[in-house]
Amino acid sequence: MSKARLTREQIAERAAMELPDGVYVNLGWGIPNLIAAYVPANISVYFHSENGILGMGPRAKPGEEDFDLVDAMKVPVTLLPGGAYFSQDDAHVMTRGGHLDICILGGLQVSERGDLANWRVPGAKGAGGIGGAMDISVGAQKLIVTMEHTAKDGSPKIVKTCTYPLTAIECVDTIITDLAVIDVTPEGLVLRELAPGFSPAEVQAVTEPKLRHAANVPEMQLKPR
Amino acid sequence: MACARAIQPGIRASHDRNSNTANMPLKEKVCPTVDAAVAGIPDGATIMFGGFGGAGFPNNLIQGLARQGARNLGVISNNCGTGEGELGILFKNKQIRKVVAAFPGPGAKYFQEQFDAGEIELELVPQGILCERMRAYGAGIPAFFSPVGVGTEIGRGKEEREIRGKRYILEQALGADYAFIRAQRADHMGNLIYRKAARNFNPIMATAAKFTIVEVEEIVDTGQLDPEAIVTPSIFVDRIVQAPGKRYV
């Protein structure tokens, strides 16, 4: 068994397994933007974009772009049958009003209570930007964060208390990283799955808060690399 | 030729009974040129600009405002330009003093330079709250309680209240003197239809400004738009100009 951490694509592949048939979903920037490609062909998932699209389809093919039909990352996309256009305020009626079943965002830090920090690195140059992340985090019926388990310097990104500017408090339900799937519960963080080859102790070593787990934590079921 | 709808600060043109443009019917909202559509914007005005992700920006009106030269502007927009495109030219010309935005954006070169130099005041607002503050203003609601930003720096200094066991912060309605928007099609009354995701902030801004100026791809005769399909009814629109869409990357 190889023991490499998951790639960003594999994190996206694992995150796609969290999507049941028929859900309305918003995907954020970064790893979440890779997830749509891994949704199994036998289920239907309806993608929302906060600039006013529901039922968003794949990226437009080269030469077929319509620049009035872009996603929240400015990328030309398509609309599936049954899709709809609406204004930005209606798009956020859907986010903040609790109408989206699952939202998946990138993260800089997640705390053991499920606080999320994902919009600004302290000391970063420039004005920063919030975008729709705060509205989405507050309103999602289920919020999943996908991110690397540790920062570039090796420090934990799953922490007791976030030190980065917060996006929302007590909003994260599940964290999917290159090492593990972790659920945020009232009793604390629960290690649900491991990346192939890793042990609970190895994941705990790079996680600041205490992880609870069963005697045998299953491995993620991913396609062979 | 000037537009029939003269700008009277603080008064919607539709309520202006003392217009000195008696030679033109008051109901005529269509302007002959982009420059006529932006004529009369004073220094110090606050202006909302529609557009998101390169789609639905009133780029012709923005270019017109750059030529017109109003300065010391307060701007409300999701982002702050792409190079010289979109709002970029107004920052390059140093026409803007204050910005309310959700995501100024990595391509907002001229905004970032002036922000880093401390020359521009910025209020960062979560995107859905930016929408909702405008919707409240347009609907005559002065403020509202919101769950967004509770416990974050957005909530700092704002009144907080617990309602049915959850924490909320008080957000103020957000209006402006002008909205500059883009639509796909207008009739002569100012009823508007948009195209795909180019709709974005444009309809909500039309409701939250005292005076709304719209550029459209096409103007049709009144009665030619399907009433069931009209997104922005004419009551929210003061001036219309036909101008082909411009896009910046």
The pLDDT tens digits for B183-235 are: 999 999 999 999 999 999 999 999 999 999 999 999 999 999 999 999 999 99
pLDDT digits (tens, 9 = 90+) for A141-200: 999 999 999 999 999 999 999 999 999 999 999 999 999 999 999 999 999 999 999 999
Do B156 and B103 share a structural domain? no
Q: Which residues of chain A have pLDDT under 50?
A: 1
pTM of the model: 0.93
Range of the domain at B120: 42-124+175-242
Q: Is A113 exposed, middle or buried (0-12, 13-18, 19+ CB in 10 A)?
A: middle
**More confident of the two residues B23 and B142:** B142
For B34-54, write each residue's pLDDT tens digit: 999 999 999 999 999 999 999
Nearest CA in chain A to B102: A131
Same domain membership, residue B189 and residue B136 = no
**pLDDT for B20:** 45
Q: Per the CB < 8 Å rule, is B54 touching A165?
A: no
- What's the rounded Cα separation, in Å, for the pair B78 and B50? 8
- A chain contacts of residue B152, beta-carbon cutoff 8 Å: 134, 165-169
Same domain, yes or no: B180 and B162: no
User: What is residue A14's three-state secondary structure?
Assistant: helix
State the pLDDT at residue B21: 44
How high is the pLDDT of residue A101?
A: 98
d(CA B142, CA B126): 18
CATH for A8-212, options being 3.60.15.10, 3.30.499.10, 3.40.50.10800, 3.40.1080.10: 3.40.1080.10
* B128 near A CB under 8 A: yes
Residue B18, domain member (yes or no): no
For residues B132 and B156, membership in a common domain is answered with yes
Q: Are strands A188-194 and A77-85 parallel, antiparallel or unpaired?
A: unpaired
Q: What is the pLDDT of residue A126?
A: 86
Identify the CA nearest to A15 among candidates A32, A40, A28: A32
B89 and B179 co-located in one domain:
yes
Which residue, among A108, A122, A112, A116, has the nearest Cα to A150 in the 3D structure? A108
Residue A51 to chain B, least CA–CA distance (Å): 5
Average pLDDT, chain B: 92
- Taking CB atoms and an 8 Å cutoff, what residues of chain B touch A125? 116
A99: chain B residues, CB-CB within 8 Å: none
pLDDT classification of B10: cutoffs 50, 70, 90? very low
Is A50 catalytic? The answer is yes
Residue B231 sits in the same domain as residue B164: no
In-domain check, residue B27 = no
CATH number of the domain where residue B218 is located: 3.40.1080.10
Same domain, B120 and B195: yes
Looking at residue B8, its pLDDT comes to 56
Q: Are B189 and B84 found together in one domain?
A: yes
Question: Would you kindly state where each structural domain of chain A is located, as residue ranges?
Answer: 8-212
Q: Which one from A50, A112, A148, A193 is the annotated catalytic residue? A: A50
Residue B167 located in a structural domain? yes
pLDDT of residue B126 exceeding 90, the answer is yes
Of B111, B144, B172, the one marking the end of a domain is B172
Per residue in B53-108, pLDDT (tens digit) is: 999 999 999 999 999 999 999 999 999 999 999 999 999 999 999 999 999 998 99
The answer on B224 and B144 residing in a single domain is no
Does residue B15 carry a pLDDT above 70? no
> Which is more confidently placed, B8 or A151?
A151
**Is B116–A126 a contact, with Cβ atoms under 8 angstroms apart?**
yes
Whether B8 is covered by a domain: the verdict is no
Question: How many domains are contained in chain B?
Answer: 2
Instruction: Please indicate, yes or no, whether residues B190 and B219 belong to a single structural domain of this protein.
Output: yes
Q: Which of B135, B147, B148 sits opposite A89 (nearest CB)?
A: B135
B180 and B151 assigned to the same domain: no
Residues B146 and B99 in one domain: no
Quick check: is B92 in a domain? yes
| pLDDT for B19 beyond 80 | no
pLDDT score of A127? 87
Structural domain contains residue B249: no
